[in-house]
Amino acid sequence: MLNTLREVATSALKSPARLLSDGDRSMVEAEIHDAGQLTNVYGFMLFSACGIAALGLLQSSAPVIIGAMLISPLMGPIVSMGMALARVDPPRFRTAALTLLIGALLSVLASTLIVWASPLKDVTPEILARTRPTLLDMVVALLSGFVGAYLSINRKGGAIAGVAIATSLMPPLAVVGYGLATAAWDIAGGALLLFLTNVVAILVAVFGVARRYGFRSVGRQGAAWETPALVGVMVALCIPLAMSLQGIVFETRETNRARGAINQTFADTSPHITELKVEAQNKGATQVQAVVVTRRYIPGAEAQVAAQLDPGAQVEIEQILTAKGAAELNSSALAARLTATTQPQPASPEQRLRAMLGAVGEVQSIEKNASGLTVAFNMNRPGGLQDYFALEQAAQRFMPQTPITLIPPLAPLPEVRFAYGSTSLSPEAAATVDAIAWALIRWGVAAAKVEGLASPDPRGRRPADLRVAQGRASVVGERLRAQGIKDVALSANVPDTLTGDEAQYLVARVTMQPTAPSSAASPP
């Protein structure tokens, strides 16, 4: 038994060169070089394969792309180059290389023209899949090249279709054409690197298999140079491929971290992450964008997720609420980007808007006019102007094709708060002024009065205190004018002595004016 196993192992390790006679090698070599010639059939198959590949990539259709791989003739000249290199036959190597170069250039040109003429120019997953080659792609091309060379040398063409699919020579060239047509140079460069990786890997594999089958130089002069040259080219290619693989591994790790942080933040809401995009650098994730379907809105979800990632990570999360979640949502949550869905959605815009808003309040009326839909609405729970402002924005995102104008109920305008001694608007104060301007426009109010307040010095009111009050009125008035309230009167108010809580004087107050007042400041 041991002797039998030893004989089998010895036979398997022997060079397969003994299986071919010199006549067989001559016939195999002639057939391989014949497949690498530039002929009319080669050009026809090339044009057809390129057109199919380009259209398949634009439609993101894997079956169509596989069809292009099957009929692509690019494998022929590469195998011919490998055989010529094994035989150290420069004339035939140059002929096959020229055939490959012309074929590649014609493929890129044809793909560029097809993409330029096509109305479809969006980047598809099939296109992106061929823009970041790694060491794994080189390994696949090497293994495919070994099989292709074995089938060619042993004249077993029945399984060559599988090799054509695995090597994927035509789709990268079509992606290069897409990148040139759309001026996406990074896409074109990545696809070109993938094509070169496949060509070099297949060339090396064919060279190695041909040498194993006894295809060697018959009239060598000088030292062997072909093996060191191929090794050098492979090493040079491995550097960018290894860096690309390292980047993908790093991004995958950071994506898993971001996914885990999002799932933990939304743990009690049965979350479903429908979209997740993570940009990462050496120090960790820098940008996280996610779309999460949730039964309940989570306030401050972005900050909670960012706290679980590396410092400096910017997180944007779009929370999509189910119909049940929208019904339970309060007005403050609506201020943070609501997207509500109802199943099934009514047909008309008015019905869709009524169904969306009905989850959180009472729709008093909806008027359809030339500018879109105007809706008078009142929330079920008390809400401020910023809540109504955010609700209009959410409704507009829900119905992007129809302009929405939401009329909030009349209510006192909120105070614009300032820091002690400051006349600058904080982000929160600016948002308050924007909400006030929005409400005035929705109510049809064309004029307003802004009263700036400031607290006095313990020794009494000073000119500096009055300047602070005037500055607060001025900055609010300017922002109101920028938002569309053109008629704004300004005033300043500083008490003689401080009574009560000082916070009551760290504000500016906006009031509606029924008639156009004078815009001159009138300090006391």
Q: Considering 216, 235, 252, which residue would you say is the last residue of a domain?
A: 216
Q: How far apart are the first and last CA of the chain?
A: 114
Q: State the DSSP string of 247-260.
A: HHHHHHHHHHHHHH
Q: Residue 320: beta bridge partners? A: 293, 339
Class of residue 523 by CB neighbours under 10 A (exposed 0-12, middle 13-18, buried 19+)? middle
Contact in structure between 453 and 466 (CB atoms under 8 Å): no
Domain presence at residue 37: yes
Q: Considering 216, 248, 268, which residue would you say is the last residue of a domain?
A: 216
CA 104 to chain centre: 29
Domain presence at residue 107: yes
Q: Let me know how long the chain is.
A: 524
Domain presence at residue 279: no
Domain presence at residue 255: no
- In sequence order, what are the residues at sequence separation of 6 or more whose Cβ sits closer than 8 angstroms to the Cβ of residue 321? 293, 294, 295, 296, 297, 329, 338, 339, 340, 341
- CA-closest candidate to residue 468, choices 514, 415, 422: 422
Domain presence at residue 308: no
Q: Considering 216, 234, 253, which residue would you say is the last residue of a domain?
A: 216
Q: State the DSSP string of 167-222.
A: H--HHHHHHHHHHHHTT-HHHHHHHHHHHHHHHHHHHHHHHHHHHHTT---SS--S
Residue 100 CA to residue 126 CA, distance in Å, equals 24
Domain presence at residue 303: no
CATH number for 201: 1.20.1080
The confidence score (pLDDT) of residue 220 equals 58
Residue 167 CA to residue 145 CA, distance in Å, equals 8
Q: Which residues of 399-429 are buried (b: 16+ CB within 10 A; e: fewer)?
A: eeeeebbbbbeeeebbbbbbeeeebebeeeb
CATH number for 446: 3.30.1330.60
Class of residue 222 by CB neighbours under 10 A (exposed 0-12, middle 13-18, buried 19+)? exposed
Residue 92 CA to residue 29 CA, distance in Å, equals 11
Structural domain total, the chain: 2
Segments in 444-491 forming alpha helices (H)? 463-482
CA 470 to chain centre: 47
**Residue 48 phi, psi (nearest 5):** -65, -45
Sign of the CA dihedral with 224 first, then 228, 229, and 234 last: positive
The confidence score (pLDDT) of residue 12 equals 47
The confidence score (pLDDT) of residue 22 equals 66
Instruction: Print pLDDT tens along the chain (524 aa).
Output: 555 555 544 554 556 655 666 676 778 778 888 877 888 888 888 888 888 888 888 888 888 888 888 888 888 888 888 888 888 888 888 888 999 999 889 889 989 998 888 887 788 888 888 888 888 888 888 888 888 888 878 766 544 555 555 567 888 998 999 999 888 888 899 889 989 988 888 888 888 888 887 777 766 555 567 778 888 888 888 888 888 877 777 788 888 888 888 888 888 777 778 778 887 776 677 788 888 877 777 777 888 888 888 777 788 887 776 544 444 444 445 444 444 433 444 457 777 777 777 767 788 888 888 778 888 888 776 678 888 888 888 778 777 788 888 888 888 899 999 988 888 988 889 989 999 999 999 998 889 999 999 988 877 788 888 999 999 999 999 999 998 888 999 999 988 887 778 888 899 999 998 754 444 333 33
- In sequence order, what are the residues at sequence separation of 6 or more whose Cβ sits closer than 8 angstroms to the Cβ of residue 158? none
Token pair listed for 354: 């009524």
The confidence score (pLDDT) of residue 315 equals 84
Domain presence at residue 375: no
Which residue range forms the structural domain that includes residue 424? 416-513
The confidence score (pLDDT) of residue 6 equals 59
pTM assigned to the model: 0.55
Residue 188 CA to residue 175 CA, distance in Å, equals 6
Domain presence at residue 94: yes
Nearest 5°: the CA angle 193, 196, 202 is 140
